[in-house]
Every structure is written in C-alpha cells, then in structure tokens.
Amino acid sequence: MQEEHPFAAFIRILGKGKKGSRGLTTDEAFEAMTMVLNNKVTAEQLGAFLMLLRVKEETPEEVAGFVGAIRTFLKQDNTVYADLDWSSYAGKRRHSPWYVLSALLLAENGVRVCMHGAEGHTPGRVYTSEVLKPLGIETSETLDHAKQQIKKNNFCYMPLQTISERLKEIIELRPFLGLRSPIHTVGRMINPLHAPCSIQAIFHPGYQVVHQQAAKIMGEEQIAVFKGEAGEVERNPDTKCTVSYAINGKTWDEEWPAMFEKRHMKEASLDENRLGLIWSGEETDEYAEAAITGTTAIALRLLNRADTPPQALLKAQDMWDKRNRSRH
C-alpha cells in the first residue's frame, strides 16, 4: 500500500465534508504554503487545495500563514526600502487605471511607493505596466532594479514574476481552474520592499475584513483596505466608501461619502496614453481627477498625513493642483 503524501493532511482538513472540515490554523497554512512554494506537492494536490480554499473562502488565519510562508520563501532582507506598499492584482475594464496617477502624485510629494501586481490573467482588462510605458516608467524585472527606481523616482512597479516565478505560475492557473485562487488574495499582502504602510483593495466585500484581520494577526505593518473600482486600489468617487484600517494592533472602519451625487458613465474605450494627457492637463475629466485625488486622500490618511477624510481630500486636491505637469 502506498504511503500517504504529507500534503494530503491539509487537503483532508479542508475537504472532509460540511461537518468534518475546518479552516487551517496559521501554522498549518504556513506549512502548507511552504510545501506549495517549494514544489513538494503534485499538480492534482495543488488544484484540489486551491479550489477547496476558494469554495470555503480564506480565513484571516490562513491568509496570515500563507503570507508568512511567502515572505520566508523569498529570503529577502528586512531593510525598509519603501514607505507605502501598493498592490495591483485585478486590472481595469470600465475606467482607466487612475490609481497609477495617485501613486505618482504621492511619489512626487516624497512618498516612496512600491507597486506590485499580476497581469494578463483576465482577458479584456488593462494592467499597470501597460499604462506605465507611455509615461516613461520602467517595469522592474529584478528586485535590485526596483530598489534603484525607488531611490531615483520614489516609485517602482514589479510584476509578480519579479517577486516569485512560482507565485506567477500558480496565479496563472485561473484559465485551467475557472476560478481565482487564494494567491489573488495573499499576493496583495506580500509587501516585497517591507514598507511600514500597505494600501489594498478588494472586489468582493467579504474579503475586506479578511485582509484587515490577517494584518492584525501578522502585526507587521499598518494597512488600509477598501472596495476598489474593479478590485484595484482606486476610490470610486461615485459611491460612498468604507475604509478598514489595522494599525498598531487595533482595527476600525471609516466612512468616506460619495464625491458626486450621480454616477458617471464608463469610458467608451480604455487608452493607455490617456493618463499622460490627464496628468499634463491637456485633457480634463472630473471623474478621473476625483478618482485620483480620492485615492490619494485615503493613502494620506493611512500615512498619518491628515487627521480626517475631508482634510485628506483637501490636501490631495492641493497636491494635484500643484503637480509638475511636465514630469511624465
């Protein structure tokens, strides 16, 4: 009789029926993800593991364990190279990626922003690197290049494969499995350059608390998480927004009111060159500018550079009005 594979225990914990199954503890999640990252599981086991988690939905303990395993696997030094970690894992389809200009606006005002994300896993969406190229910003294909870009421009963007080819392989299983995997959740929390603050967005509302509580369990950085436009870290100015924080072991929510009384139409088509036109002022768009300043304001609150949402929004608007329009 063949001996049971060590990883089978984790699949059994997750899949033993309605009454027999349970979530993984943080330690179990750490051990399971370590095996996955080190390729010590079969393809069948990986698929079963990812989909059982997807059906059940990840708990804060599981996310904390997975993120801890990924950070250990990466074997990076703990030097703080950035002020703000910014995840970008969803892509945009209704509106342009205005969040990129929010990040660049913060960078222009002295905030070192490390942006990282996954690309191309969902057809019909525009991803970060596609709009950075027309702005003259290089995508970092190595960690050293990312650190150099941070030092030079206060901004860097790393696609997931720069952080880990193994994670990229797993996230790209989506077309085969038909569903997103937990890597879409945990990837947002990798924080590869060890920024003390991290801003994240979710698409499915239930995951907001998962991110918040996972950050509390890890206790390593200050985070703000909210339901972003299309799942990206971008404020939708047409709707009210609840921002969930986890700072110094405490968690709370903050309500941000809608910035407009009525909704705007989605863009007819997405053009990667449009961000440069909005930044330079050659083109104006009230929705775009509200999305940019609204997102910047949330980051300013997280960074403790404003005491209230209205104050943060005023400061963000002032930064936008005074931006160097010729920079990009």
Is the pLDDT at 123 greater than 90? The verdict is no
Is the pLDDT at 68 greater than 70? The verdict is yes
> DSSP for 114-145?
EEEE--SSSTT-B-HHHHHGGGT-PPPSSHHH
CATH number of the domain residue 174 falls in: 3.40.1030.10
**Pairing status of strand 250-256 against strand 222-227:** unpaired
Whether residue 274 is contained in a domain is answered as yes
Is the pLDDT at 33 greater than 80? The verdict is yes
The sign one gets for the Cα dihedral 206, 211, 216, 222 is: negative
Given this model, what pLDDT does residue 245 score?
Answer: 94
Averaged pLDDT, 276-284: 96
Given this model, what pLDDT does residue 233 score?
Answer: 97
Q: Are 57 and 197 in the same domain? A: no
Whether residue 26 is contained in a domain is answered as yes
Whether residue 19 is contained in a domain is answered as yes
Q: Are 47 and 186 in the same domain? A: no
Is the pLDDT at 120 greater than 90? The verdict is no
How high does pLDDT run on average in the chain?
Answer: 93
Q: Are 22 and 90 in the same domain? A: no
Q: How confident is the model at residue 85 (pLDDT cuts 50, 70, 90)?
A: very high
Whether residue 101 is contained in a domain is answered as yes
Looking at per-residue confidence, does 153 or 220 come out higher?
153
Q: How many domains is the chain built from?
A: 2
Whether residue 327 is contained in a domain is answered as no
Given this model, what pLDDT does residue 121 score?
Answer: 60
Nearest 5°: the CA angle 301, 303, 304 is: 65
Q: Are 135 and 279 in the same domain? A: yes
Rg of the chain on CA atoms, in Å: 20
Whether residue 288 is contained in a domain is answered as yes
Q: Are 229 and 293 in the same domain? A: yes
Is the pLDDT at 110 greater than 80? The verdict is yes
Q: How confident is the model at residue 111 (pLDDT cuts 50, 70, 90)?
A: very high
Q: Which domain holds residue 197?
A: 84-321
pLDDT in tens, 203-253: 887 889 999 999 999 987 799 999 999 999 999 999 999 999 999 889 999
Is the pLDDT at 77 greater than 90? The verdict is no
Whether residue 199 is contained in a domain is answered as yes
Percent of the chain with pLDDT strictly greater than 90 = 82
Position 226: which residue type? F
pLDDT in tens, 126-146: 999 999 999 999 999 999 999
Q: Are 294 and 315 in the same domain? A: yes
Phi, psi of 104 (to 5 degrees): -70, -30
Averaged pLDDT, 189-201: 95
Please answer whether residues 216 and 249 qualify as being in contact, where contact means their C-beta atoms are separated by less than 8 angstroms.
Answer: yes
Q: Are 272 and 131 in the same domain? A: yes
Which of 74, 96, 127 marks a domain boundary? Answer: 74
Whether residue 2 is contained in a domain is answered as no
Q: Are 200 and 315 in the same domain? A: yes
Q: Are 137 and 38 in the same domain? A: no
Q: Are 142 and 252 in the same domain? A: yes
Averaged pLDDT, 143-150: 96
Q: Are 122 and 243 in the same domain? A: yes
CATH number of the domain residue 62 falls in: 1.20.970.10
Given this model, what pLDDT does residue 211 score?
Answer: 92
Confidence (pTM): 0.94
Which of 22, 42, 74 marks a domain boundary? Answer: 74
Token digits of residue 202: 């979710």
DSSP letter, residue 78: -
Given this model, what pLDDT does residue 327 score?
Answer: 57
Percent of the chain with pLDDT strictly greater than 70 = 98
Is the pLDDT at 178 greater than 60? The verdict is yes
Q: Are 149 and 275 in the same domain? A: yes
